[in-house]
Structure 1
Amino acid sequence: MRSPGLTSGPVALRFALRELRAGLSGFRVLIACLAIGVAAIAAAGSVNRAIDEGLSANARQLLGGDLELRLMYRDLSAAEIATLERLGTLTRYTEMRAMVRPETNAEGRRLLVEMKGVEPGYPLYGAVELTDGQPLAGALAERDGLAGAVAAPALADRLGIKVGDRLRVGDAVVELRGVIAREPDAIGGAFSFGPRLMVAAPTVAKTGLIQPGSLVEYHGLLRLEGGSDLARAKDILAAEHPQAGWRLRGPEEAGAGAQRFLDRLTLFLVLVGLTSLLVGGIGVANAVKAYLDGRIRTIAVLKCLGAPAGLIFRVYMIQIGLISLAGVGIGLLIGAALPPLAIALLADLLPVPAEAGVFAGPLLLAAAFGLLTALVFSLGALSRARDIPATALFRGESAKGRGGRWRDRLMIAAGALTLAALAVATADDKPLAAWFVAGAGLALLLFRGAAALVGLLAKAAGRPSGLPALRLALTNLHRPGAATTSVVLSLGLGLSVLVAIALIQGNLDRQIREGIPAQAPTFFFIDIQPQQTATFEAAVHGADPGAKVVLADMIRGRIRAFNGVPVAEERIAPEARWAVRGDRGFSTAETLPEGSTLQAGAWWPADYQGPPLFSLTSDLAEGMGLAPGDAVTVNILGRDLTGTLANTRKVDWGSLTMNFAFVVSPGAFAGAPRSYIATVRASEALASDVDKAVAAVLPNVSAIRVRDALDTVTAIMEGAGNAVRISALLTLIAGAVVLGGAFAANHGRRLREAVTLKVLGATRGQILRAYLTEYGILGLATGLIAALVGSVAAWGVLVFALRADWVLLPGVVATTAVGCVLATMAAGLAGTWRALGAKAAPFLRNE
């Protein structure tokens, strides 16, 4: 009969601590694997919190006031200004695109800029900082009849000018007085094709660029008096000016776009950390198994002395738990130490300072992920060790046990589900996190199955005669305790992530750089006034008689309601929400635009003059839950316009032809001020002449060269792709640690094998060739499997998520396979090199 004391917790703890006195040499891989993943998750969450706290603490500086009002096409009326000034302090500014050039411009250099014209009180909170420290108002003030301007560094670099030089903007000449170091409210702006140029508000009027229908945004910033209630101020504005058509934003919305981007970035980094933890989990399982294999005699002795299986389980569970706590603790220390460094590196990119500190939430979440991973991946080996029989004392065997009881499997499944649920529950984008969890689980199963398939194929290959190295290599791939599964799992998942990222970026880059259609336009021209269309066409054809010109009117507006229900109350799919967040471009058309294909409904007659009809792209209609026949209400210049959705269409945006997501029937916007945009396909040799010809007669018209715009997009994508790849390297680092641990764990077996082969007459060179063949086959198989999984993942993302074309890039696959072979061979040799030089005599004497 067993003593009750043997099953108590204190006894298990004493046994566990005594064994740990021998050192942690067998747990270095486990600690490293947990530390890498936990550090990544903790650092990502902490950086997010630090920047988020900074955005929240400086929300008014980001907005420039307590309340921002935005109008398209028109400025605030006298009545609206009176109401706003009654509520507090008001300052205004305008934003528009314009073309600038040096006043002395022999080379004809022009640059598209985002021009902002500000009043003296701008901004009401915070300040625009210039590199030389001078105040903004002084830099923009008129001196000797010459207005001042300040600009982003990119403007001076691209035009080759310096402070003190003069620029021409429309009909005005300004002097560059300073370079912008920080513009806090720029974070709320949209994607821009040009650098910032900031001038005083009267200077904008002098340019002559503002015409009826020009694409101009008018902004008002309000500082409420005496801590007035923001909600009350909004209610007063809505009650006194219900048809104003303005868009209101408070401080909590100032950094909304940046926060969405930050949350997505953090989610990606956390998922990278989780992937590293999953890869590291293989290392945990390997380390625990190797450690318990070395404790078989100890376990058998305890069994002979009457120790129950439960005590064995608890002893080693406590040991693994303590070691896991050490790994998690190291990861948390690294994760808490990295954010200040990351914030310092990002300081110049942030509009406001981040709030440094130690944030408990991200650290606790990272610790939970680390401990759950350790639990899930160690339970299998622990349960098998519990079932090691006492007879193991008299014969050598590993910790196979009986393969685990159903309760053990249930515990492992429960731990895995808890880990998955935690990942989804704590993510801002839960659908994306759910897809990640499902994909990661499927990938682990696929690689586990692939490893088994490699072993089966190696076994099926038989024993080739005359090739002893190959025969030994194939045998090592399918023998009991082979490293095949560990290698495939540890390297495969990380390589798959890198392959997928490389293929996605490569395909998008290829489509941007090489996929420009032969009939794609050379230029987009914006802000053409209705009375200037004939002059514009004449200028283009005067420079290039063969140029193709396509003109389309455009007016900005907002979608207000579907079938009478405000969009704020509608359930709109995430991929379609961008269309209802702010002002969008609408255009009228008599015929179906080039590059469009009808999907549902019918196009209106070319001479249609009835109630407004709308045409919407099919993806947006699907995301908004709309079908032909539904009512759509839009707001144009403060006036609501309700019409019927006549049709949906699929647009080939890759053709770069003139197209809009929202197209309206002719006459719907009759009488409303609007401007025209144009596409021009010109001869490459005459493209510069076309640009100069238009600039000479229509200085208010801005030109966007298609190839320059695509280069801008490509540069942004390359920067993002590099950041993603660097982050994903964490997974490979974890895989490398696991790989090294897997080979190191087999050192004893390799040593016995090498000595046995030497006794049988094998030379060191023959053994080396056998090992290199084994590692080469294993690396090649892993690389090919990772390339396949990564290719399928990239195909799914490109085709279904990004709706882009996909082609296989052989270079990526070849690089993956070769890199995997070299990595596996290097790690394998590092783990077995000492075994090759072992002397047979000492080993045989000890055996």
Structure 2
Amino acid sequence: MTKPLRLPLSTRLALRDLRGGLGSFRLFLACLFLGILTLAGAGSFDRAVKAGLADNARTLLGGDLAVRLLHRLPTDAEQASLDALGPTTRVAELRTMARPEADATRRVLVQLKAVDPAYPLVGTLTVQGPLTLAQALAAVPGEPPGAVVAPTLAARLGVGVGDRLRIGDATVVLRAFIAHEPDALAGAFQMGPRVMIAADTLAQTGLIRPGSLVEYTTLIRLPQGISPATAKATLTRAHPEAGWRIRGPDEASTGVQSFLDRLVLFLVLVGLATLLVGGIGVANAITAHLEGRRPTLAILKSVGASSGLVYRVVLTQVALMTGLALALGLGLGAALPALAIEALGDALPLPARAGVYPGALALAAGFGMLSALLFTWIPLARARALPAAFLLRPGAEALLPPPLPWRDRGAVALTALALVGLAVATASDPRLAGWFVAGTLAAFALFRGVAALLMAGVRRLPLPARPTALRLGLAAVARPGASTPTVVVSLGLGLSVLVTIAVVERSLNAHIAQGLPERAPGFFLLDIQPDQVDPVRAAIETSAPTATLQMADMVRGRLLAVNGVPINEETVAPDARWAVRGDRGFTTAATLPTGSTLVRGAWWPADYQGPPLFSVTEDIARGMALKLGDTITVTILGRALTGTLAATRRVDWTSLGMNFAFVVSPGAFAGAPRTWIATVHAPAAELGAIEQAVGGGFSNVSIIDVREVLAQVGAILGQVSRAVQGAAALTLVTGVLVLAGAFAATQRRRLREAVTLKVLGATRPTLAAAFAVEYGLMGLAAGLIASGVGVGAAWAILRFGLSTPLVVAPGGIAALVSLALVLSLATGFAGTGRALGIRAAPLLRDA
């Protein structure tokens, strides 16, 4: 007969001890749980959305392959190569203006999409009502061509089904509203509501002219056995100079995935910050637990238990609590995607696949275990080294703790390095993650240093004899074993994150609401034809005599090579890769453009007529490792053009003025179809007249109202800011939990001190005032330093990342400092309020 399994002694003692209640381990659980939940939830949501994007990649792209050309249709030879790969459909997209036929004063910038009968090859476009897309766009005898539009257009123009719209030179009838557009994410960036018409109708609009900013995309459904990569290689070999951009399903939503990576990285960093702040609470919880078990541990050691056994008992309890925190955090974090998908429903703008994603959960578990190990090692190691006599001595916690053995210091250092390495290695942007880790460690050191300076300064002060509460409160801040470092660090870190976000948000809002409108133009005008340049100028001068008009020619092209070597995106710095992806705008200029500052090289003479010369912005030159004299090759409408880099410039993009990353010497694009763009600066009272003059006289010219764009940006910024603040608030919540743990860890000592002071004549109001001085001073110090750190971090983000001036609201900073004071006082009294009402006799009998 086999003996029943018997647990080790340390495990039995640990479980027996936990039967009496979790005690301080509640704080341990809460701090660890919040960090793990944030990491697991962010990681799982990231994987769920990316899985949804992958599942729907062909639908989002509109086929197995998307071949895009700018300005022109494929040649007969190119079209033959496309058709040979499989069934195709062609889509044309451009921006233009739309208005009700009955009201010439109401115009809206729209994203026009013209499709043929085969669209869509993959997926289904649905419209509201009984019609199909084909029925809605079909020609009806005696009626204008049909169109389907996004529902938002109806509110902006005041139109409904059956109403007629003017688009360019054509009249269309609105037959239905779009319910679902399968490939909306893969198309061009939409600056206005969608309007969809038949390909035959596009020719009637008069919008397709030489140089017009129209994108032609051929979508292909490949037969079985041919991969997108193989088809892409076939097209590239057959037509190396075509200048088209070819994408497969894996590139259907690169912009969305890039944004998602940034968002998830921020949430992961917030989760790490929560874990790091919570780590202090974990250490406090262990300290409080050891303090509460001091007699038990002392008795165990006195009756012969080894330090190793005592250490294993507490370590087992820590492992059990860590496992419970992991189970709760990972369980709820894994369920977050499904809960979000269920709650948001159709409001979720991205496809997502609910499920359990082990990779994301394993990563969150790794962070959680390393954090628990890092912050529990030090108190456990010190507890292991304490002799029984020290444990039995009342007030021993106020004495200096024994130094940490070198072996334990090495283990702590290795654990910290593993945590940092895991954060950097798994981040979508390792450099940003590295800066975050460095900044967090610097903030830890700063707050810890401020706490040490505060304690040292109070010690040097001549403490006043009266009032007694002030003397007692100041002495409590600077005494050995004081909670000052923990309070300042935990509360300060959480508040500094909120200050940083608040200041960045206010600065951006102020810049968008005040700074940009003062400098930005009232309108951008696009697609001005060469023969319309003078008439448009005359129309604006007539309708608004005080307006300032700036115009420039523009062609679209792609970068092909540097010094004859084809450009490889992987060799370009991440912040400059946008310049080599897809098509770019190029302009010619005889003189240095307004708003540009020459950095390197020299500008060409105004009457220059030689070989093409290029000027690029300094950030692109740096990101592509360009040197003066390097050759740059671009393709314009399938024609290669090679020039020499003559100068680099610094551009103030925040002016929203007319500037280009690439400027070419005059005459370089002679013979190429070009359009002109313009910016118009005018008083607000004249903008309406300008819009009527240009919109009414030039139906092909697109008018972008900068005021509307800035309003939309402000609204989006507000939504993102609220989400960011909600996530960052977790750090502050964790900080409050840490405060509670810090005060709970010293509760026994405060009870003894309160009894001693009461015996010596102190009243309850005196003790309450002393506590208020202590907690208030610590909260005030944390709030003031957090404000400084937060403003400094915000300045760095605005200055180096966003090129935006810093705007600080003193009232907001004062409110956050007051919040720190209130939190410190409230948490302090909640944790130690029992000391005010304790009776002296019971404690004196136990002394």
SS in 1 for 2:147: strand
Deviations 1:247-299 (A, max 9, x none): 10001111222112112211111111111111110110000011112222222
- Contact 1:183/1:351 (8 A) holds in 2: no
Inter-CA distance 844–161: structure 2 relative to 1 (3 Å threshold)? farther
> SS in structure 2 opposite 1:225?
coil
Contact 1:523 1:703 in 2 (8 A): yes
- The code of the aligned residue for 1:467 comes to P
Q: 1:182 to 1:284 in 2, by over 3 A?
A: same
Q: Which residue of 2 aligns with 1:3?
A: none
Q: For the Cα contact (< 8 Å) 1:185–1:351, is it kept in 2?
A: no
- Deviation, structure 1 residue 623: 1.3
After TM superposition, list the pairs within 5 Å mapping 1:812-823 onto structure 2.
Answer: 812-823=812-823
SS at match of 2:224: helix
Contact 2:288 2:744 in 1 (8 A): no
Q: Is the 8 A contact 2:750 2:835 kept in 1?
A: yes
Which residue of 2 is the match for residue 451 of structure 1?
451
Instruction: Out of 633-642 and 13-22, give the one that drifted further.
Output: 13-22
Report the equivalent of 1:764: 764
Superposition deviation, residue 575 in structure 1? 0.8
- Quick one: percent identity of the two aligned structures? 56
For 1:546, the equivalent position in structure 2 comes to 546
Letter of the 1:314 partner, please give it. R
Counterparts of 2:836 and 2:162 in 1: how far apart (Å)?
A: 73
Contact 2:500 2:791 in 1 (8 A): yes
Helix, strand or coil for the counterpart of 1:174? strand
Separation in 2, partners of 1:50, 1:518: 43
The offset of 1:190, in angstroms, is 4.5
- Aligned ranges 1:197-208 → 2 under 5 Å: 197-208=195-206
TM-score by length of structure 2 reads 0.96
Are 1:36 and 1:277, in contact at CA under 8 Å, matched by a contact in 2? yes
Does the 8 A contact of 2:287 with 2:745 survive in 1?
A: no
CA distance in 2, matches of 1:492, 1:752: 29
Residue 715 of structure 1 is matched in structure 2 by 715
**Any conservation in 1 of the 2:294–2:392 contact (CA below 8 Å)?**
no
Moved more, 557-566 or 123-132: 123-132
Match of 1:578 in 2: 578
Please give the alpha-carbon distance, in whole angstroms, between the structure 2 residues aligned to 1:60 and 1:151. Answer: 23
Shift of 1:189: 3.6
CA distance in 2, matches of 1:461, 1:143: 92
- How far the C-alpha of 1:743 sits from its partner, in A, is 2.2
Q: What is the CA–CA distance in structure 2 between the aligned matches of 1:37 and 1:719, rounded to whole Å?
A: 23
Contact 2:589 2:663 in 1 (8 A): yes
Q: Which SS does the other structure have where 1:641 is aligned?
A: strand
Deviation of 1:584 (Å): 0.8
Residues 177, 465 of structure 1: CA spacing in aligned structure 2 closer, same or farther, 3 A cutoff?
farther
Q: Secondary structure at the match of 2:24?
A: helix
Q: Contact 2:326 / 2:365 at 8 angstroms: preserved in 1? A: yes
Report 1:442-841 matches (<5 A).
442-516=442-516, 518=518, 520-568=520-568, 571-841=571-841
Matching of residues 124-163 of structure 1 within 5 Å: 124-132=121-129, 134-144=131-141, 145-163=143-161
The question of whether the paired residues in 2 share the 8 Å contact of 1:613 and 1:665 is answered with yes
Which residue in the other structure is 2:13 paired with?
15
SS of the equivalent of 1:330 reads helix
Are residues 394 and 367 of structure 1, via their aligned partners in 2, closer, same or farther at CA, if it must alter by over 3 Å?
A: closer
Asked if the contact 2:229/2:248 (under 8 Å) is kept, the reply is no
Return the alpha-carbon distance in structure 2 between the equivalents of residues 570 and 400 of structure 1.
55
Deviation for aligned residue 1:35: 0.7
Q: Is the 8 A contact 2:506 2:807 kept in 1?
A: no
Structure 1 CA distance for aligned equivalents of residues 306 and 841 of structure 2: 40
1:357-412 Cα distance to aligned partner (Å, 9 max, x none) = 11111111111111111110011100110111121354222396522101111111
Q: For residue 118 of structure 1, what is the aligned residue in structure 2?
A: 115
Q: TM-score, with normalisation over the residues of structure 1?
A: 0.96
For residue 632 of structure 1, report the CA deviation from its aligned partner.
Answer: 0.7
In structure 2, C-alpha distance between the alignment counterparts of 1:569 and 1:650, rounded to whole Å: 23
Query: Could you say if the C-alpha distance between residues 181 and 489 of structure 1 is closer, same or farther in structure 2, counting changes exceeding 3 Å?
Result: farther
Q: Which amino acid aligns with 1:825?
A: L
Distance 1:133 1:10, change over 3 A: farther
Comparing 759-768 with 30-39, which one deviates more in the overlay? 759-768
2:426 counterpart residue number: 426
The aligned amino acid for 1:53 is A
Deviates more, 1:173-182 or 1:620-629: 173-182
Superposition deviation, residue 599 in structure 1: 0.5
Distance 2:319 2:238 in 1: 66
Cα distance in structure 1, aligned partners of 2:45 and 2:719:
19
Q: Displacement of 1:205 after TM fit?
A: 1.4
CA deviations 1:179-221 (Å, max 9, x no partner) are 2233232212454321211111122211111111111111110
Correspondences of 1:337-486 after superposition (within 5 Å): 337-348=335-346, 350=348, 353-392=351-390, 394-396=392-394, 397-398=396-397, 401-486=401-486
Q: Deviations over 1:209-256 (max 9, x none)?
A: 111111111111011133423233223322332322111000111122
State the shift of 1:843 in Å.
4.0
Which residue in the other structure is 2:3 paired with? Answer: none
CA contact (8 A) 2:614 2:665 kept: yes
Bigger shift: residues 212-221 or 832-841: 832-841
When residues 652 and 386 of structure 1 are mapped into structure 2, their CA distance, relative to the original with a 3 A threshold, is same
Gap change, CA 1:84 and 1:519, over 3 Å in 2: closer
Bigger CA drift: 140-149 or 609-618? 140-149
Equivalent in the alignment of 1:280? 278
The alpha carbon displacement at 1:783 in A equals 0.6
Deviation of the 1:92 alpha carbon: 0.4
Contact 1:299/1:388 (CA < 8 Å) preserved in 2? no
Per mean C-alpha deviation after superposition, the further-off stretch among 313-322 and 547-556 is 313-322
- Shift of residue 845 of structure 1? 4.2
| 2:58 partner amino acid | R
What is the distance in 2 between the residues matched to 1:785 and 1:645?
A: 48
**Residues 493/315 of structure 1: CA separation in 2 closer, same or farther (3 Å cut):** same
- The aligned counterpart of 1:4 is none
In structure 2, C-alpha distance between the alignment counterparts of 1:519 and 1:510, rounded to whole Å: 13
Task: Please state how far the C-alpha of 1:124 moved relative to its aligned partner.
Answer: 0.8
Where structure 2 has 5 or more consecutive residues not aligned to the other structure, the ranges are 1-5
Q: Measured at CA, do residues 837 and 163 of structure 1 come closer, stay the same or move farther in structure 2, by a change above 3 Å?
A: farther
Does the alignment pair 1:290 with 2:288?
Answer: yes
> For the structure 1 residues 832 and 673, does the alpha-carbon distance in structure 2 shift closer, same or farther, using more than 3 Å as the test?
same
Q: What's the CA shift for 1:696?
A: 1.6
1:746 to partner: Cα distance: 2.8
CA–CA separation in structure 2 for the residues paired with 1:627 and 1:805: 31
Equivalent-residue separation in structure 1 for 2:179 and 2:786 (angstroms): 45
The match for 2:233 among 232, 235, 243 is 235
Shift of the 517–149 alpha-carbon distance from structure 1 to 2, 3 Å rule, reads closer
- Greater alpha carbon shift after TM alignment, 194-203 vs 552-561: 194-203
Contact in 2 for aligned 1:385/1:401 (Cα 8 Å): no
Amino acid at match of 1:111: V
Summarize the Cα distance change of 1:78–1:157 in structure 2 as closer, same or farther, 3 Å threshold: same
Aligned to 2:74: 76
- Structure 2 residue aligned with 1:222, among 215, 220, 223? 220
Evaluate the alpha carbon distance shift between residue 486 and residue 699 of structure 1 in structure 2; reply closer, same or farther with a 3 A threshold: same
The answer to whether the 8 A contact 1:297-1:392 is kept is no
Give the whole-Å Cα distance in 1 for the aligned partners of 2:760 and 2:632: 85
Q: Which amino acid aligns with 1:387?
A: A
**Structure 1 range deviating more: 334-343 or 828-837:** 828-837
Where does residue 94 of structure 2 map in the other structure? 96
1:347 Cα offset (Å): 4.1
Contact persistence 1:347–1:353 (CA under 8 A): no
Deviations 1:404-444 (A, max 9, x none): 10111111111111111111111121111111111122211
Residues 1:109 and 2:106 aligned together: yes
Which digits, 9 at most, give the CA deviation of each residue in 1:475-505, with x for residues without a partner?
1111222221221122111111111111122
Give the partner amino acid of 1:637. L
- CA distance 1:131–1:437, shift in 2 (3 Å): farther
